Structure 1
Amino acid sequence: MTTVYSVDVRIEAPVRDTEVTDRVRDAVEALFANVEFVSEPGKLVGEAHTLDDFSDKLHEQEILDTARREFERNATADGFSFSLKKQAAFRGVVNFAVGEPDELGEIDVDVTVRSPSVEEYVDHLAPPTEDGTPVDPDRR
């Protein structure tokens, strides 16, 4: 049986005076292909209802463990949040923002999980690994 995921994703990216809005939009779309944007003063705000393309990037870059730690570190009963470095996103690379804020600002992502649970959705996006390889949950 296939699990149906119901999530709402809000993505915010500041647009500095020195930046072109379309370039910031391209950076966000490089990581989140199914985002729909609205412009607000000084920032782009996007909404999506899937993170499957983002999950593909996590698998390609082999950073599933890092992603899980970030998701779990910022998890609540209703979802989780994380921030990404905007400069890396311009290159289509996922780089979690930790420590000092970047001068261009960060891409902030808030995920509200409606179904199934937050833990199950995190497992879907960034499955647990063993020696860097995703582990089949039925084998655990």
Structure 2
Amino acid sequence: MSLKFHTFSAEETIDLGKKIGNFLKKGDIIAMQGTLAAGKTTITKGIAQSLGITEEITSPTFCLISEYEGKMPLYHMDVYRLDGGEDFINLGVEDFIYGNGVSLIEWSEKVIDELPKKTIILKIVPVEGTTEREITLENWPYGEIN
């Protein structure tokens, strides 16, 4: 199933993240795609809140993987600095993406071939000159989000 949303502020993007997060189950993987400053970390903040995570969510650009504890673990990855799928696998990500938590992968375009077919694709496209974001969920297994 594919779903499309429009948000008009960071707060609305966080709220959508909360709604998405309320559906997620252990082992879910979300491959996030979007340009620099599209809102990938912003929507991650909402997903984290829905999982009961109270820590500050920041982009893991320099540490590559941040792990947060809540109702279930959240593994927030940023693969921007990697050269591709081999580097991704060499990080030991199998423990995360096949683990007991939810994995969110920013810049997933670089490693998409290494992810399972069940991976949820989340695309964020900023509307130029505005705070609007077009957000698409592909391969979404849980039905409508209200």
TM interval, short-chain normalised: under 0.3
Q: Which has the higher Rg, Structure 1 or Structure 2?
A: 1
Write 1 or 2 for the structure with the bigger share of helix: 1
- With a CA cutoff of 8 Å and minimum separation of 6, indicate the structure with the bigger relative contact order: 2
* Length-normalised TM-score, structure 2: 0.25
